[in-house]
Amino acid sequence: MSIRLIVEVEQARKLQNTQTFGTQDPYVKLTLGKTMQKTRVHEDGGKHAIWNQKIIFKYIGENKILVQCMNSNTMSDNLIGHVEIPLGNLTFGKPVDQWFQIYNKKRKLSGEIKMKLYKQDPQQQQRQNMHGQIGKNILNSQLGGGAMGMQNAAVMQQQMMMQQQQQQMEAQRQAMLQQQQQQAQLQAQLQQQAAQKQAMLQQQQQQAQLQAQLQQQQQQQMMQQQAGMMSNGMQPMYGGGGANMYGGGMGMQQPMQQAVQQQRLAVTVPYGVMGGQQIIINVPGKGQMMVTVPMGMQAGQSFQVAV
């Protein structure tokens, strides 16, 4: 149902007399968009006319309504005064009820018209129509008299109760649908969180596998280095004579200096890692290696490792 604009044209006062002989016959002409409607003519109303008439328009968002107070003549009607009333601030449930000043063609004050304007909510209109019709039916049934009239009144009351129950059931159904939608959204969020948790577990497993592979590679490299040192005659480093181990011969001093002179690399503790945990770093020219973060270190701090 569309929105309705209700205009109650009540009366006019202090109207300019536009008729030379006799008494003028005022009426009001209302124009909303392309729709025009009129009140009844107040015969011999003169300067003080009364109509008390309700006019209903179909409102589709017009910005203003034109109000024209006319004098009804046999040959042609003439204008007493007019005014344009803005409708932008007109809201539901808050009617505008006041005297409106009207002006003639020379823009001079030519009287006042008492009117009430308001917009009507389609749902409110439907409820009013339904209750009004039921009330009329009950009244007509009661006026019918006798047991038949009382029976009809009871039927009408029962119909009204059934309609109210249907409205309550519809409201409950809407509430259940809303609750189901909320539950579906919550379930989708839980599924998404579970998928994220599973992805994190898989990532941790892959990191653990990679760390195990790097540890195994480091062990193999250390074994190969030890085997190479032993093949180059460096066995005294692991328990030979004291003179050879601490620099008795020049032939041994040079390999030991080469072994001691190792590079040191600054490592920053990544976010989420604490002291005592192992991380994987990239060593320029040597690839990846695993190191243990010193105890007490936190994310963002740096420490040195020998590479």
CATH value at residue 8: 2.60.40.150
What's the pLDDT score for residue 245? 41
- Within a domain: 141: yes
Which of 98, 120, 142 terminates a domain? The answer is 120
Strand-pairing partners, residue 78, are 71
Same domain, 32 and 16: yes
Same domain, 82 and 157: no
- Within a domain: 211: no
- Judged against a pLDDT cut of 90, whether residue 140 lies above it is answered with no
Q: How many CB atoms lie within 10 A of CB 186?
A: 10
Same domain, 83 and 98: yes
pLDDT tens string 234-263: 544 444 444 444 444 444 445 444 444 568
Burial of 256 (0-12, 13-18, 19+ CB in 10 A): middle
Same domain, 68 and 173: no
- Within a domain: 250: no
User: What element of type H or E holds 85?
Assistant: strand 78-86
Which of 101, 120, 139 terminates a domain? The answer is 120
What's the pLDDT score for residue 250? 46
What's the pLDDT score for residue 130? 56
What's the pLDDT score for residue 84? 97
Alpha helices (runs of H) in 145-273, residue ranges in sequence order? 146-231, 242-245, 250-260
Tell me the three state secondary structure of residue 59.
coil
Same domain, 21 and 8: yes
Same domain, 59 and 71: yes
- Judged against a pLDDT cut of 90, whether residue 96 lies above it is answered with yes
- Within a domain: 167: yes
Tell me the three state secondary structure of residue 253.
helix
What's the pLDDT score for residue 59? 93
Q: At what angle do helices 146-231 and 122-144 cross, to 10 degrees?
A: 150
Distance CA 116, CA 239 (A): 114
Strand-pairing partners, residue 29, are 38, 68
Question: If you average pLDDT over residues 121-125, what whole number do you get?
Answer: 64
Antiparallel, parallel or unpaired: β 278-283 and 287-292: antiparallel
- Within a domain: 196: no
Most confident of 51-55, 206-210, 262-266: 51-55
Mean pLDDT in the chain?
82
Task: State the residue range of the domain holding 17.
Answer: 4-120
- Judged against a pLDDT cut of 50, whether residue 286 lies above it is answered with yes
- Within a domain: 181: yes
User: What element of type H or E holds 140?
Assistant: helix 122-144
Number of domains into which the chain is organized: 2
Same domain, 60 and 16: yes
Distance CA 68, CA 86 (A): 14
Where does the pLDDT of residue 48 fall: very low under 50, low under 70, confident under 90, or very high at 90 and above?
very high
pLDDT tens string 161-210: 888 888 888 888 888 888 898 888 899 999 999 999 999 999 899 988 99
Q: Would you give the distance in Å from CA 201 to the centre of its chain? A: 35
Which of 143, 163, 186 terminates a domain? The answer is 186
Q: What φ, ψ does residue 119 adopt, rounded to 5°?
A: -95, 145
- Judged against a pLDDT cut of 70, whether residue 230 lies above it is answered with no
What's the pLDDT score for residue 25? 96
Please report, rounded to a whole number, the percentage of residues in the chain having pLDDT higher than 90: 38
Same domain, 11 and 44: yes
Tokens representing 202 are: 């898989």
Tell me the three state secondary structure of residue 276.
coil
Same domain, 61 and 84: yes
- Judged against a pLDDT cut of 90, whether residue 108 lies above it is answered with yes
Distance CA 8, CA 21 (A): 31
Same domain, 116 and 128: no
Antiparallel, parallel or unpaired: β 50-58 and 64-71: unpaired
Q: Would you give the distance in Å from CA 115 to the centre of its chain? A: 40
Same domain, 80 and 132: no
- Within a domain: 243: no
What's the pLDDT score for residue 15? 96
Question: If you average pLDDT over residues 277-296, what whole number do you get?
Answer: 88
Same domain, 94 and 179: no
Q: Would you give the distance in Å from CA 245 to the centre of its chain? A: 79
Instruction: Provide the b/e sequence for 25-37 (b: ≥16 CB within 10 Å).
Output: bbbbbbbbeeeee
- Within a domain: 193: no
CA-wise closest residue to 16 among 101, 104, 76, 83: 104
- Judged against a pLDDT cut of 80, whether residue 149 lies above it is answered with no
Higher pLDDT, 66 or 245: 66
